[in-house]
């Protein structure tokens, strides 16, 4: 298991078939992708509901598949700089090695 997969498994929460990361861990995951030159294609944002459920939100689920690797990193970094909601979980779509 590589560094990125290990981080995702160690820090992610598996719920309803989705392994999501907190905002803080999503930012660290993004940094790992940059450091390891791994393409990200976007991520899905999930509201973490009080009853323990999750609900996807398309407004927090950007698609970067049409961007270059560097543009995707920049767009994702800007997203997290502008979104500080703590009741969200994020599942990344990225190139697995």
Reported as a single tens digit per residue, the pLDDT across 28-77 is 999 999 999 999 999 999 999 999 889 999 999 999 999 999 999 999 99
Using 50, 70 and 90 to split pLDDT, how confident is the model at 97?
low
The residue ranking higher by pLDDT, 53 or 84, is: 84
**Smallest Cα–Cα separation from 56: which of 90, 23, 27, 83?**
90
Q: How far apart are CA 28 and CA 32, in angstroms?
A: 6
* Residue that the structure tokens 């820090």 belong to: 11
Q: How many domains, the chain?
A: 1
pLDDT for residue 16 is more than 90: no
* CATH number of the CATH domain containing 70: 3.30.190.30
CA angle (21 as vertex; 17, 24 as ends), nearest 5: 170
Q: How far apart are CA 26 and CA 43, in angstroms?
A: 10
42 CB-near residues (< 8 Å, 6+ apart) = 61, 62, 63, 64, 65, 72, 92, 93
């Amino acid at each position: 298991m590589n560094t990125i997969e290990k981080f995702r498994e160690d820090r992610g929460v598996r719920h309803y078939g989705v392994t999501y990361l907190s905002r803080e861990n999503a930012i660290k995951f993004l940094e790992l992708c940059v450091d390891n030159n791994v393409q990200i294609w976007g991520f899905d944002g999930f509201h973490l509901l009080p009853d323990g459920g999750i609900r996807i939100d398309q407004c927090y689920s950007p698609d970067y598949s049409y961007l270059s690797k560097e543009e995707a990193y920049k767009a994702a970094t800007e997203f997290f700089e502008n979104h500080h909601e703590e009741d969200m979980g994020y599942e990344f779509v990225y190139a697995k090695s």
